[in-house]
């Protein structure tokens, strides 16, 4: 189904592993205009194709791998692809974004996306070379770690693989491409359930751009802008995401001891500064990215990928481990075994507290690290207590108790930010479509203490901020661009002059801007194009595809995507009760002397549902759906 638009390859491939059939998934230009690509395109495919009652590990579950129109065009930060499926952790929609180069190669093979269904009778890997699709026996690859499997597959083509954790259906197994991970929500386990070890794609095709010279010029300017911004040009290249540990500690939002505290005495020992001073070999990141926020470090004489912030926290402060060396080793080990470091760390912390409280005697203790490497292997192979740990926190809390301190939302473990001192982030965790994810949450913590200093305890305007960021992130991701590109939304002067009168005024006044943000959130189009110079995303989409979009149009596509994911979740039985956080975060004050240090979730949720145009049960109203062109069912 060819396309009039630039940037796309115009074809989506559907592969059924049960009967090894291959066909084209119908995807029209109208779909491209409505859903753009990436996670929103995947949500539409899942919405249209998944029968009700399908379980995550059923052959009928789909694994939808998608790119955006900017993927592989040379746009900065555009080596991204998305994997969506029904998550074995949440039973709801999961979308996971990855910076490996698979998406780029998938487009070179001639496809904007892959829709994989069915189940192979035995281990298989798929080879896609332009129009030639081969199903290969994966007997010799099965059991291999993620790097070993990729090395065996060889060549320069794009690859996605799973490790032993995915094969053994560890609920939080990820999908790996080079050293990058689509880590969250268990897409690797779904791949394992289909007996699919790997997909390799390649070819010599290139997307045509609607206005090539304008696009190239813009990409150059955009890269320069990213390099000049304090976050994407200075902090991320210098310290990576790991640089946040210290400021999170002073802001009391550093998840510590299974989210009991927001500060860790030994935070400096597991900080980005320590990583940079003691272990950093060099920066590394995704292809075509001027930021290169990834790290290379040395572990046992090997030059390997270094940990991100989330890993430092979930395997550091949150289990009271102060050994950075251990984290580096575990990060490498978990990648090799093929599982998400966030959910692995969160589950271990919960198990430690269950043990401490005598609810489950398992030998795991806060601060004890000598036994954890073995435990991670046990999880991957489901041996001993690893079989239970492989199911995640929600399952453990149902089996052993401790629901009040099982730190997950909808079944997905929370990431690194302790939200009782950043209540907007707390709201985001609760309403996020994929569960306890900081990014799908809207990442309002950026304003509540990382980049800016708005009041982190007030509920004022937090719902509106969440919605704005969630919608923009959906759109950036659908376009095929890294979410970190949106940090440039924050005007550099606010970061370079945080003590100036103007910055302080902006910080003070932002929580009074709820009504204005609400108007912006509701605005779907305007007679004149609306854009922000620091967010060139719409201009890039315009030059690449030829679609007439401005920032409002992109934001509306993002809003459509968020609501579509919500609809899928509602079809899967989601109710407002599941937009929740454990009682530890909503009823147990972080500071026992300050009852205000909880997430006032009831009030925040009410504001959020109203501002989203959802009813009190958290369902998008008919009017909201009509405004987004989502009425009319499948």
CB 601 within 8 Å of CB 428: no
Secondary element (H or E) of residue 507: helix 501-509
Binding mask 241-280 for other proteins (x = CB under 8 A): x-xx-xx--x-----------------x--xxx--x----
Does 496 participate in binding other proteins (rule CB under 8 A)? yes
Of the candidate spans 166-174, 236-244, 573-581, 597-605, the one that interacts with other proteins by CB under 8 A turns out to be: 236-244
CB of 615 to ligand SF4, least distance (A): 36
From ligand SF4, other proteins, none, interface partner of 289 (C-beta below 5 to 8 A by class)? ligand SF4
Q: At closest approach, how far in Å is the CB of 326 from ligand SF4? A: 24
* SS3 category, 161: strand
Residue 317 CB contacts under 8 Å (≥ 6 apart), including other chains: 245, 249, 254, 255, 256, 257, 264, 266, 267, 270
Q: How far is the CB of 97 from other proteins (least distance, A)?
A: 14
Pick 216 or 227: Cβ nearer ligand SF4: 227
**What's 351-416 look like in SS3?**
HHHHHHCCCCCCCCCCCCCCCHHHHHHHHHHCCCCHHHHCCCHHHHHHHHCCHHHCCEECCEECCC
Beta pairing class for 196-202 and 124-129: parallel
Cβ proximity of 122 and 194 under 8 Å:
no
Cβ proximity of 57 and 189 under 8 Å:
yes
DSSP 411-447: TEEP-SB-GGG-HHHHHHHHH-TTSS-TTTTT-GGGT
Using an 8 Å Cβ cutoff, are 386 and 375 in contact?
A: yes
473 binds ligand SF4 (CB under 6 A): no
Taking CB under 6 A as the rule, does residue 286 contact ligand SF4?
yes
- Decide: 66 and 112 in contact? Cβ < 8 Å: yes
Examine residue 145 and tell whether it contacts other proteins (CB under 8 A).
Answer: no
Cβ closest to ligand SF4, residue 396 vs residue 476: 476
Compare residues 488 and 539 and give the one whose CB is closer to other proteins: 488
Between CA 192 and CA 390 the distance in angstroms is 14
Scanning 22-30, 352-360, 410-418, 563-571 for contacts with other proteins by CB under 8 A, the matching segment is 410-418
In the bound state with ligand SF4, the residue whose beta carbon lies nearer, of 342 and 407, is 342
- Which of other proteins, ligand SF4, none does 499 bind, CB closer than 5 to 8 A by kind? other proteins
Strands 113-117 and 63-66: antiparallel
Binding partner selected for residue 105 from other proteins, ligand SF4, none, CB under the kind-specific 5 to 8 Å limit: none
Interface stretch with ligand SF4, choices 106-114, 292-300, 523-531, 620-628 (CB under 6 A): 292-300
Beta strands in 77-131 (DSSP E): 81-86, 93-98, 113-117, 124-129
Distance between CA atoms of 158 and 103, rounded to whole angstroms? Answer: 7
Of 490, 551, 557, 628, the one binding other proteins by CB under 8 A: 490
Q: Is 446 in the site for other proteins (CB under 8 A)?
A: yes
**Which residue, 181 or 397, has its beta carbon nearer to ligand SF4?**
181
Q: How far apart are CA 431 and CA 569, in angstroms?
A: 11
The site for ligand SF4, by CB under 6 A, has a size of 11
Q: Which residues sit at the interface with other proteins, rule CB under 8 A?
A: 230-232, 234-236, 238-241, 243-244, 246-247, 250, 268, 271-273, 276, 293, 308-310, 415-417, 438, 443, 446, 450-453, 484, 487, 490, 494-499, 504
Binding positions for ligand SF4, rule: CB under 6 A: 77, 99, 285-286, 289, 291-294, 482, 484
């Amino acid at each position: 189904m060819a396309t009039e638009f630039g940037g796309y390859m115009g074809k989506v491939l559907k592969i059924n592993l049960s009967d090894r059939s291959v066909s084209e998934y119908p995807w029209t230009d109208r779909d491209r205009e409505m859903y753009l690509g990436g996670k929103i395109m995947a949500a539409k495919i899942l919405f249209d194709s998944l029968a009700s009652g399908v379980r995550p590990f059923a052959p009928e579950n789909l694994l939808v791998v998608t790119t955006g129109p900017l993927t592989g065009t040379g746009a900065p930060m555009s080596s991204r692809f998305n994997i969506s499926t029904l998550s074995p952790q949440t039973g709801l929609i999961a979308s996971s974004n990855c910076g490996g180069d698979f998406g780029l190669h998938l487009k070179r093979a001639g496809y904007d996306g892959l829709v994989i269904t069915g189940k192979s009778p035995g281990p298989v890997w798929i080879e896609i070379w332009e129009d030639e699709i081969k199903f290969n026996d994966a007997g010799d690859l099965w059991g291999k770690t993620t790097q070993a499997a990729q090395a065996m597959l060889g060549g320069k083509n794009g690859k996605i693989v799973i490790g032993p954790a995915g094969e053994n259906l560890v609920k939080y197994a990820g999908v790996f491409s080079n050293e990058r991970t689509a880590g969250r929500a268990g897409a690797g386990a779904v791949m394992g359930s289909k007996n699919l070890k790997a997909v390799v794609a390649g070819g010599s095709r290139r997307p045509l751009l609607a206005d090539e010279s304008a696009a190239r010029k813009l990409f150059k300017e955009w890269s320069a802008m990213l390099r000049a911004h304090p976050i994407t040009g200075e902090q991320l290249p210098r310290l990576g995401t790991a640089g946040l540990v210290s400021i999170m500690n002073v802001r009391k939002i550093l998840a510590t001891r299974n989210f009991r505290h927001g500060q860790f005495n030994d935070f400096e020992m597991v900080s980005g500064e320590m990583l940079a001073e003691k272990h950093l070999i060099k920066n590394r990141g995704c292809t075509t990215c001027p930021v290169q926020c990834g790290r290379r470090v040395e572990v046992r004489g090997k030059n390997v990928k270094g940990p991100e912030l989330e890993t430092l926290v979930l395997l550091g402060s949150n289990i009271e481990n102060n050994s950075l060396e251990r984290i580096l080793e575990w990060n490498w080990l978990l990648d090799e075994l093929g599982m998400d470091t966030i959910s692995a760390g969160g589950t271990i912390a919960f198990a430690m507290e269950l043990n401490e409280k005598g609810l489950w005697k398992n030998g795991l203790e806060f601060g004890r690290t000598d036994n954890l490497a073995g435990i991670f292997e046990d999880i991957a192979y489901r041996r001993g207590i690893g079989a239970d740990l492989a199911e995640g926190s929600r399952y453990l809390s149902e089996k052993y108790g401790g629901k009040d301190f099982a730190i997950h939302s909808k079944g997905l473990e929370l990431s690194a930010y302790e939200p009782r001192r950043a209540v907007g982030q707390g709201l985001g965790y609760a309403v996020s479509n994929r569960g306890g994810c900081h990014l799908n949450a809207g990442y309002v913590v950026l304003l509540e203490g990382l980049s800016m200093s708005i009041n982190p305890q007030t509920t004022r305007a937090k719902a509106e901020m969440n919605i704005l960021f969630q919608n923009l992130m959906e759109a950036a991701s659908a376009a095929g661009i890294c979410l970190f590109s949106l940090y440039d939304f924050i005007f550099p002067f606010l970061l370079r002059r945080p003590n100036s009168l103007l910055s302080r005024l902006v910080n003070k006044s932002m929580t009074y801007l709820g009504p204005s943000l609400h108007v912006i959130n509701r605005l779907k189009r305007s007679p004149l194009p609306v854009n922000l110079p620091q967010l060139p995303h719409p201009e890039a989409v315009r030059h690449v595809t030829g679609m007439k979009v401005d920032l409002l149009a992109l934001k509306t596509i993002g809003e459509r995507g968020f609501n579509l994911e919500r609809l899928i979740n509602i079809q899967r039985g989601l109710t407002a009760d599941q937009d929740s956080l454990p009682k530890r975060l909503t009823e147990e004050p972080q500071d026992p002397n300050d009852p205000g240090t909880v997430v006032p979730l009831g009030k925040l949720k009410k504001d959020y549902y109203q501002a989203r145009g959802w009813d009190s049960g958290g369902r998008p109203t008919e009017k909201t759906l009509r405004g987004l062109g989502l009425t009319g069912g499948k």
